[in-house]
């Protein structure tokens, strides 16, 4: 009887632990570390690095030592006489070294005989939150802002997650900044957040509204050369530093999409940025001034940032960094790099990537973004940049990012900001191993899904250089026909695809908008000639005739149909691979990811059928026989609409 009871107890416990394993909700992100049984013997600096090691490190003694000679945030890890020695020039370096060690442990790598030296590529590795004072998140697909009512437990996980991948800065609010972001009440709140993030080496920054002196300060002007305005900013900045002594600085969206800026007062971007830079200088603060500008009257939006910023090259103060989106338009699934990066020679620059998937299926599509960012770095030398920013995909959803696999993009951003030389595969493998406990073939299969996912997304949304054919405003789903009366032309897809009886695509050659001339000579020549232009950017740079012969031997129209279809088939493969993971993944995360992959596969069909049927009204050519044919007609597809704002993720995608 006793034996039976014991067995029952064992079974009960086993059952309980299986149920526990069955219930992962993703809230621990990639930090699924078990508390260590033994406490490591640690000497050296105190603080977070020590606590993390004491709590999670399962190996022998670790010594943390500050040592001059290394660059900021860099560290070495060495195995020495039965101990592991982490040295760094600053505390943050020790913390990053500690996380490196824990990562080795968590990914099952050897922690013996270590001789590691790491130095981040950039001093500033920063997240940009597009969070509004009311808690909505612009282009946020994972719930409300985590900063609305900052929960200390969540803040701690947020800080740990960031520090574990080297992120050391965060902009708390939307670049479409409310003047209220600088009110005393908001600053008190920012102070509270800064206090929670500081122990993890993370500084806070704020986006500002350039007209704050008027809207918040009651002045008549926000002219950056006006003495009263400068004095208002000085007082405000002093107030900020009294509350947050290590405050990082300002992020500014000026004279862009209706936001105020120095041009409203007859001044230049340099006048505006430099005024703020001088005010911040005594506190060692910086200005990140965005180059995301475009005007409705321009014949090519892709030209605009270059035209506005090149004349100012060399005129910015040395604590201003120009923050440039990776592509010249706006975070499309594929863009060439923004030509400003290779043109500006005398101005510190940083790249802005978008981690949140505004244009890549929101939190419904599995799209691993590292390959896209690596593609950027294959054109722009990492060393030519000062820093890296990423628009966060984080919200108060229990799993932080809406889609479990979207966490990989947050992770990849941090890892690449630390070391842009890491491969997409290395990063994906690290993340996958830590986040899911998949082994061997299962892991390889899921890795291949992650690595193929960006190209698949390009194929089912916008192959061959097509861009910006999204549904109006919320940007979820296809609407290549969207062009309501009264809406600015450059906010409508026909401005970009220019489909007509001849062909498809935007002529940006020397005889078109001239955009190719903004690139260095060799690239200019490459892109300018339709025969040498890479096919994955063909309609970005050329108006391509429907019967143009592609490298595959197919006509352009047939190739387009095949590409869309390939994208659809890829998403079905992703779903099939995931379905086979069921025995190896806890049920909650399995079901949630499966649900999203089903949406993605349906959405991919939606994209293909809507785009092909619509473009067919111009091409007048049949969809090839070996391409799956749409079951709905174009009118039916045009009637299907997703009704959401820009602050939410659609619960389901295409359901027709
Ligand atoms: C924060 C795009 C987005 C906007 C965003 C803007 C920007 O236009 O759709 O939501 O605004 O980029 O980056 O400033």
Task: Give me ligand 1 centre to Cα 358, in Å.
Answer: 9
Strands of 67-123 (E only): list them.
75-80, 83-88, 115-118
Backbone angles phi and psi of 289, in degrees to 5: -105, 120
Residue carrying the six token digits 């842009």: 420
Residue carrying the six token digits 């206090």: 195
Residues in the chain: 656
Task: Give me ligand 1 centre to Cα 409, in Å.
Answer: 19
Half-sphere exposure of 52 (CA within 13 A, CB side): 29
397 lines ligand 1 (CB under 6 A): no
Distance CA 88, CA 91 (A): 7
Atom of ligand 1 nearest to the CA of 475: 9
Please give the structure tokens belonging to residue 617: 């009204």
pLDDT at 74 over 90: yes
Atom of ligand 1 nearest to the CA of 175: 1
Atom of ligand 1 nearest to the CA of 354: 13
Distance CA 461, CA 616 (A): 16
Comparing 44-53, 145-154, 219-228, 377-386, the range with the smallest average pLDDT is: 44-53
Residue with the bigger pLDDT between 159 and 15: it is 159
Atom of ligand 1 nearest to the CA of 176: 1
Q: Any alpha helices (H) in 244-301, and if so which ranges?
A: 269-280
Q: Are 611 and 369 in contact (CB under 8 A)?
A: no
Task: Give me ligand 1 centre to Cα 346, in Å.
Answer: 27
Q: Quick: pLDDT tens for 487-508.
A: 999 999 999 999 999 999 999 9
Q: Catalytic residue positions? A: 257, 330, 358
Residue 35 DSSP class: P
Q: Quick: pLDDT tens for 172-193.
A: 999 999 999 999 999 999 999 9
How confident is residue 457, by pLDDT bands cut at 50, 70 and 90?
A: very high
52 lines ligand 1 (CB under 6 A): no
301 lines ligand 1 (CB under 6 A): no
Atom of ligand 1 nearest to the CA of 253: 14
Instruction: Tell me what pLDDT residue 16 has.
Output: 34
Distance CA 541, CA 527 (A): 7
How confident is residue 259, by pLDDT bands cut at 50, 70 and 90?
A: very high
130 lines ligand 1 (CB under 6 A): yes
Task: Give me ligand 1 centre to Cα 320, in Å.
Answer: 21
Instruction: Tell me what pLDDT residue 283 has.
Output: 98
How confident is residue 353, by pLDDT bands cut at 50, 70 and 90?
A: very high
Backbone angles phi and psi of 415, in degrees to 5: -65, -40
Atom of ligand 1 nearest to the CA of 138: 10
Task: Give me ligand 1 centre to Cα 308, in Å.
Answer: 18
Q: Any alpha helices (H) in 170-249, and if so which ranges?
A: 184-197, 212-215, 227-243
Instruction: Tell me what pLDDT residue 575 has.
Output: 98
Q: How far apart are the first and last CA of the chain?
A: 60
Distance CA 335, CA 176 (A): 24
If one residue of 255, 330, 493 were mutated to test the ligand 1 pocket, choosing by the most ligand atoms within 8 A of its CB, it would be 330
How confident is residue 37, by pLDDT bands cut at 50, 70 and 90?
A: low
Question: What average pLDDT does the chain have?
Answer: 94
Distance CA 57, CA 62 (A): 9
If one residue of 174, 255, 256, 257 were mutated to test the ligand 1 pocket, choosing by the most ligand atoms within 8 A of its CB, it would be 257
Q: State the virtual CA torsion across 89, 92, 96, 97 in degrees, nearest 10.
A: 40
Task: Give me ligand 1 centre to Cα 551, in Å.
Answer: 36
Q: What average pLDDT does this structure show over 283-295?
A: 96
292 lines ligand 1 (CB under 6 A): yes
Instruction: Tell me what pLDDT residue 5 has.
Output: 39
pLDDT at 44 over 50: no
Please give the structure tokens belonging to residue 218: 């009651």
Strands of 477-563 (E only): list them.
503-504, 544-545
Instruction: Tell me what pLDDT residue 40 has.
Output: 54
How confident is residue 22, by pLDDT bands cut at 50, 70 and 90?
A: low
Residue carrying the six token digits 């505006």: 272
Instruction: Tell me what pLDDT residue 39 has.
Output: 55
pLDDT at 86 over 60: yes
176 lines ligand 1 (CB under 6 A): yes
Nearest to 366 by CA among 565, 648, 33, 653: 653
Comparing 19-23, 233-237, 339-343, 574-578, the range with the smallest average pLDDT is: 19-23
Q: State the virtual CA torsion across 201, 207, 208, 209 in degrees, nearest 10.
A: -170
Instruction: Tell me what pLDDT residue 396 has.
Output: 98
pLDDT at 206 over 50: yes
175 lines ligand 1 (CB under 6 A): yes
pLDDT at 534 over 90: yes
pTM above 0.75, yes or no: yes
pLDDT at 12 over 80: no
Instruction: Tell me what pLDDT residue 35 has.
Output: 78
Instruction: Tell me what pLDDT residue 1 has.
Output: 40
Q: Quick: pLDDT tens for 366-410.
A: 999 999 999 999 999 999 999 999 999 999 999 999 999 999 999
Please give the structure tokens belonging to residue 147: 């900063």
Q: What average pLDDT does this structure show over 38-55?
A: 70
Q: Hey, whose CA ends up nearest to atom 2 of ligand 1?
A: 330
How confident is residue 258, by pLDDT bands cut at 50, 70 and 90?
A: very high
Task: Give me ligand 1 centre to Cα 570, in Å.
Answer: 29
Please give the structure tokens belonging to residue 567: 């994208």
pLDDT at 360 over 70: yes
100 lines ligand 1 (CB under 6 A): no
């Amino acid at each position: 009887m006793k034996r039976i009871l014991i067995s029952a107890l064992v079974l009960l416990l086993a059952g309980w632990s299986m149920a526990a394993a069955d219930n992962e909700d993703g809230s621990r992100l990639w930090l699924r570390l078990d508390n260590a049984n033994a406490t490591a013997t640690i000497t050296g600096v105190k603080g977070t690095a020590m606590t993390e090691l004491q709590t999670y490190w399962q190996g022998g003694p670790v010594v943390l030592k500050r040592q001059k000679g290394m660059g900021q945030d860099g560290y070495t890890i060495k195995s020495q006489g039965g101990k592991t020695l982490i040295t760094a020039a600053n505390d943050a370096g020790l913390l990053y070294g500690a996380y490196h060690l824990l990562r080795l442990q968590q990914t099952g790598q050897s922690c013996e005989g270590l001789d590691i030296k790491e130095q981040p590529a950039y001093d500033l590795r920063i997240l940009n939150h597009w969070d509004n004072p009311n808690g909505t998140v612009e282009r946020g697909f994972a719930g409300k802002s985590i900063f609305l009512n900052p929960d200390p437990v969540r803040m701690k996980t947020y800080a740990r997650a960031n520090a574990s991948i080297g992120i050391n800065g965060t902009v708390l609010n939307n670049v479409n900044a409310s003047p209220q972001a600088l009110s005393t009440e908001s600053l008190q709140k920012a102070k509270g957040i800064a206090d929670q993030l500081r122990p993890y080496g993370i500084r806070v920054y704020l986006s500002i509204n350039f007209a704050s002196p008027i809207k918040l300060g009651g002045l008549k002007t926000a002219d950056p050369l006006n003495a009263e305005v400068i004095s208002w900013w000085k007082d405000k900045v002093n107030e900020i530093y009294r509350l947050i002594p290590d405050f990082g600085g300002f992020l500014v969206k000026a004279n862009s999409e209706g936001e105020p800026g120095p041009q409203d007062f007859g001044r230049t971007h340099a006048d505006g940025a430099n005024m703020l830079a001088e005010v911040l200088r005594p506190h060692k603060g910086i200005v990140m001034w965005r180059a995301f500008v475009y005007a409705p009257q321009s014949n090519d939006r892709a030209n605009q940032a270059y035209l506005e910023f090149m004349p100012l090259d060399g005129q910015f103060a040395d604590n201003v960094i120009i923050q440039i989106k990776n592509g010249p338009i706006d975070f499309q699934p594929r863009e060439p790099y923004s030509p400003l990066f290779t043109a500006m020679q005398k101005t510190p620059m940083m790249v802005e990537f978008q981690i949140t998937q505004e244009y890549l299926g929101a939190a419904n599509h599995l799209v691993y973004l590292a390959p896209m960012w690596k593609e950027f770095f294959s054109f722009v030398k990492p060393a030519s940049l000062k820093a890296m920013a990423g628009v966060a995909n984080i919200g108060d959803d229990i799993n932080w990012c809406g889609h479990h696999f979207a966490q990989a993009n947050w992770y990849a951003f941090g890892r690449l900001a630390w070391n842009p030389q890491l491969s997409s595969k290395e990063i994906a493998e690290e993340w996958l191993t830590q986040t899911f406990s998949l082994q061997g073939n299962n892991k390889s299969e899921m890795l291949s899904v992650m690595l193929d996912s960006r190209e698949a997304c390009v194929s089912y949304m916008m192959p061959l250089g097509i861009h910006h054919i999204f549904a109006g405003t919320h940007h979820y789903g296809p609407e290549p026909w969207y062009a309501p009366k009264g809406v600015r032309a450059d906010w409508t897809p026909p401005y970009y695809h220019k489909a007509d009886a001849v062909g498809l695509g935007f002529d940006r050659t020397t005889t078109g908008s001239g955009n190719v001339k903004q690139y260095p000579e060799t690239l200019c020549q490459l892109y300018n000639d339709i025969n040498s232009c890479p096919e994955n950017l063909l309609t970005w740079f050329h108006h391509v005739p429907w019967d143009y012969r592609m490298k595959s031997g197919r006509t352009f129209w047939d190739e387009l149909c095949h590409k869309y279809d390939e994208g659809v088939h890829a998403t079905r493969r992703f779903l099939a691979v995931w379905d086979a993971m069921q025995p190896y993944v806890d049920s909650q995360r399995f079901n949630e990811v499966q649900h999203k992959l089903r949406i993605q596969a349906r959405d991919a069909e939606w994209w293909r059928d809507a785009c092909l049927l619509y473009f067919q009204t111009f091409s007048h050519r049949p969809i090839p026989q070996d391409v799956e044919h749409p079951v709905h007609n174009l009118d039916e597809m045009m009637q299907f609409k997703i009704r959401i704002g820009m602050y939410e993720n659609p619960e389901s995608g295409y359901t027709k």
